[in-house]
Copies of this chain bind each other. A is one copy, B any other.
Amino acid sequence: MARTVQKSGVLPVPNITLIEAVNLAMASEMRRDPNVVVLGEDIGRNGGVFRATLGLLDEFGEGRVIDTPLAETLVAAMAIGLSTQGIKAVAEIQFSGFLYPCVDQVVNHAARYRNRTRGRMSCPLVIRAPNSGGIHAPEHHSESLETTFAQMPGLRVVCPSSPARAYGLLLAAIRDPDPVIFLEPTRLYRLFKQPVEDDGEALPLDSCFIDRSGADLTLVSWGAMMHDTRLVADQLAEEGISAEVIDIATLKPLDMATILASVAKTGRCVIVSESPRAGGWASEVAANLAEHGLLSLFAPVMRVAGYDTVMPLAQLERSYIPDTDRILREVRKLFEMAPK
């Protein structure tokens, strides 16, 4: 994989993958802000197991590209320590299943130092990790962790769904004065390319993206599942059903206003999420609809989600992860219950 080092302006806008966009955002912000450092396991010479940090060591040196010991609690705690000193720490956790040892540090400290000290201290850090399944990876490499963190006060949780959004949202996350959990859709890392200009423009961290407008149905998703959700919208369009597609992207804080406005228009909503159904973030969206959108609903709010079982190993992971079939089936149910 070639490094994408792109100055904006004269050169053509490169077509890059999501993982390249993540790499570009870090490199770009590290050039801009000498207080940005990256840290994590195998992120230096090796460039990270997914190559997200490729080239950063050569460009920025060992001081700012920190290979840590194999200790996730330490990675989080070190990022906290750095960030309290105004060093913007962008930590990588190698796979989503290894985020759990960070939970205590993130919840009890990163999310709280500002509050605890009444603003005297703060933790402007980012914890990045690949998230969700679909690449036939080993055990514990395919989990979807967004809800675990989105539940926690004091955090922001971001799940990009395209190279351009990964670039803009990661810039925003690094610049944000508070801790951000940035969960990257592993199976989209190299699935498709997009032109991404390295213009240093961040995207907002508190607004849903309306991917396409529609009148009959609101499809809501984030991260890897956005891909299937978009395909479903394509399919529905062919059938004459106009779906509005919303990418939550910034799960916490949740921009319900955009979703409520959409459902007020369409009256139907299907929420698609890979993380387990029970207690997942799809439930949070649905609960808000049940409270604030009830009168506009023509039909039940459907969740298409990962099952409430352990993420299976590779052979069965495709039976676990929602796909276009499962989404379409729920959509069709809706239109049966509440025909257009």
Task: Evaluate contact between A300 and B310: CB separation under 8 angstroms.
Answer: no
Can you name 16 A-B residue pairings with CB atoms under 8 Å? A100-B103, A108-B140, A115-B309, A147-B151, A147-B279, A151-B151, A151-B278, A153-B309, A253-B308, A283-B283, A287-B290, A287-B301, A290-B294, A291-B303, A294-B294, A295-B300
When A and B form their complex, which 9 residue pairs have the shortest distance between CB atoms, in order from nearest?
A286-B287, A100-B104, A151-B279, A283-B287, A290-B290, A290-B301, A294-B300, A283-B284, A286-B290
Partner of A97, one of B108, B281, B290: B108
The smallest beta-carbon distance between A69 and chain B, in angstroms, is 17
What 1/0 flags go to A268-285 for Cβ under 8 Å of B? 000000001011111111
Partner of A290, one of B104, B115, B154, B289: B289
Docked CA distance A310–B300 (Å): 33
Assuming A116-B310, A287-B301, A294-B297, what are 9 further A-B pairs, CB within 8 angstroms? A103-B103, A103-B104, A115-B309, A153-B307, A154-B309, A283-B283, A286-B291, A290-B300, A294-B301
The smallest beta-carbon distance between A257 and chain B, in angstroms, is 15
Question: How many chain A residues touch the partner (CB < 8 A)?
Answer: 51
Knowing A111-B310, A140-B108, A310-B112 are in contact, say whether A284-B279 is a contact too (CB < 8 A).
yes
Give the nearest-CB partner of A283 in chain B: B287
